Homo-oligomer: A and B are copies of this chain.
Amino acid sequence: MTKNLPEPLKGFVAIVGEANALTAAHDIAPYLIESRGLYHGSSPLVLKPGSTEEVSAILTLASATGTPVVPAGGRTGHVGGQVPRDGGADVVLSLERMNRIREIDPVADVIVADGGCILADIQKAAADNGRLFPLSLGSEGSCRIGGNLSTNAGGTAVLAYGNMRQLCLGLEVVLPTGEIWNGLRRLKKDNSGYDLRDLFIGAEGTLGVITGAVLKMVPQPRGRQVAFAGVRSPEVALALFERASMLCGTALTGFELMPRIGIDFTTRHITGVRDPLSSPHAWYALIDISTSDSAESAEAMIHRLLEEAAEIGLVEDAAIASSLAQQDAFWRLRESMSEAQKPEGGSIKHDVSVPVSSVPRFLADADKAVLALMPDARICAFGHLGDGNIHYNISQPVGADKAAFIARWREVNAVVHAVVHTHGGSISAEHGVGQLKRDELIASRPAIETELMNRIKQAFDPAGIMNPGKMVRPK
C-alpha cells in the first residue's frame, strides 16, 4: 500500500501504522473537498493518529523534514480551513480516531475530551450526567470539538452561553515543533501569564493541533419556551430583542432574525416545515428562552414579553411552541434556511457581524448596494441578531444562470464587505478565515495586525508546517 510513497512520508506511516495511514486516491478523496465544493485540495497521505504522543511524533518529524500538515476534524467548515492546498503535497492529520471522552466530572461541571470527539457525543455525555453542553450547530452530528475550538465556533446559543472560547477552560495542544503543551486546567479564574488558550482557540490549526480540552458543562434548563413572532422590520426586531434582553437577562438563549423570503424557501423546499403564523409578515424573530430555576419562570417570561411587545406594537403576531416537537420545528425553519436556498439556484454567502445596534442600518445599506449591482437578486439575510451576526446570503435571480451568478462571488463580496466596513463590522463573524477570506482580511485590516499575527505564527511554527496558506500570509 504505502510502498510507493516517497521515502520521507514512510516515516509518518511508521508512526501511526499502515492501518491508520491512507494513501489510495479514493480513500483520500473525502479529505480533499469542502461541503459546498468551493475547494479541492491534494494530498499524498492521510494520517489517523491514535494518541497525543503520535500527534507529537508526526509534528516533530514534519518540522524536521519541512512537511506541511493540515489538521482535520469533522471537516464541516465553510471557509476551506480544513482543505489541503491544491496542487501541493500537504499531509492530512485527522483526529477522527482520537474521539474519547477522557473524563466527566459532574462536581466540577467539566468534561475532558479528545480533540476528535464529535460534538453530539459531548452533548450526549453532558445530558447523561444531567448537564448541558451548550454549543449547538447545524453540523453537530459530525463536527469535532477540536475543530469547534480551532474556529471558536458560535452557533445558536451564544447569547446565553458564549462562543467556544467561553465554553473551554483548558487545552492540550501539540505544537508544530512536536512539543506538547498540557494546559488542561479547570479554573474559572487564572491570571498567571499570557493567554495561550485563547491564542490557540480560533487559530484554525495554524499554531498547533488541539488534542484535548476541558469543557464547561452548565445546568440543564428546567424551563424552555420558543416563540416565533412576525415583525414589521429589522428595527422593530431590534427593539424586541432589547426588550427581551432586559426582561430575561441570560435566560434569553437565542434571538434569531429571518426574512419572509427565507420562510418562503423553507416552507417550499424543506419537508415538514410550515409557517407557524397564519398570514405573512415582512420579518420574523425566533425567541428561545431557557431558565434554570423552573419551567414556570420561562413560561411567565415568554408570555410577559409577548404581551408587552404586542401592547406597544412591536409584534404583529406570534406563536409559542406548545410541545418539544414544535420547538424543534420552529428551530428547523431557521436552521434549514441555508439548505433551502439550494433548490433556488446559486447562493453567494457572507458571514458578517456589526455592532448589534447597527444591524438594521447595515441591512438597509447592504440591500441597497447589492440591488444596485443585481436588481433581481433575492436577498435572504438571516441570523443571530442578538450577536450582531448576520448570514447575509443572496440567492440568484429567478431563472438566472447559476454558474454566471456564482462567478460574481468576489464582486458581490466586495460590495457587501464594503458596507460591513462602514459599520465597523467584521467580514468573518463565526465561520472563520480559512482559504476563503485570508487575502481579503489581510487587505482590509491594519498592516500591523497582520504583522503581529505573522510574528506569532513564526514564534510557534518556525518551520512553517502547520496548515500552511491559512489564516496568515505565507512567507
* Residues on A facing B (Cβ under 8 Å): 105, 107-110, 151-152, 154, 158, 163, 165-166, 175, 179-183, 185-196, 198-199, 201-203, 207, 219, 245-251, 291-293, 301, 353-358, 384, 387-389, 424-433, 437, 441, 445-446, 448-453, 455-456, 458-460, 471-472
CB of B194 within 8 A of CB of A199, answer yes
CB of B181 within 8 A of CB of A449, answer yes
For A445, the chain B residues whose CB sits under 8 A away are 192-193
CB of B196 within 8 A of CB of A453, answer yes
Interface contacts beyond A188-B388, A452-B459: sample of 20 additional A-B pairs, CB < 8 Å, sorted by A: A108-B356, A108-B358, A110-B355, A183-B449, A185-B426, A188-B353, A189-B388, A190-B429, A191-B202, A193-B445, A194-B202, A194-B453, A195-B198, A196-B453, A198-B199, A247-B293, A248-B292, A249-B293, A293-B301, A452-B460
Number of copies: 2
- Partner of A388 from B187, B389, B425, B453 at Cβ < 8 Å: B187
Give the one of A183, A194, A247, A356 with max B CB within 10 A. Answer: A194
Closest chain B CB from A297 CB (angstroms): 9
- Partner of A163 from B181, B189, B431 at Cβ < 8 Å: B189
Q: Do A189 and B355 contact each other (CB < 8 Å), given the known contacts A202-B194, A453-B196?
A: no
Q: How far is the CA of A151 from the CA of B182 in the complex (A)?
A: 23
Give the one of A105, A107, A437 with max B CB within 10 A. Answer: A107
CB of A357 within 8 A of CB of B107, answer yes
The 7 closest A-B pairs by CB, nearest first: A455-B459, A198-B198, A190-B426, A192-B428, A107-B357, A108-B355, A250-B250
CB of B194 within 8 A of CB of A448, answer no
CB of A455 within 8 A of CB of B446, answer no
CB of B353 within 8 A of CB of A424, answer no
- Partner of A354 from B187, B355, B441, B452 at Cβ < 8 Å: B187
For A182, the chain B residues whose CB sits under 8 A away are 446
Closest chain B CB from A135 CB (angstroms): 14
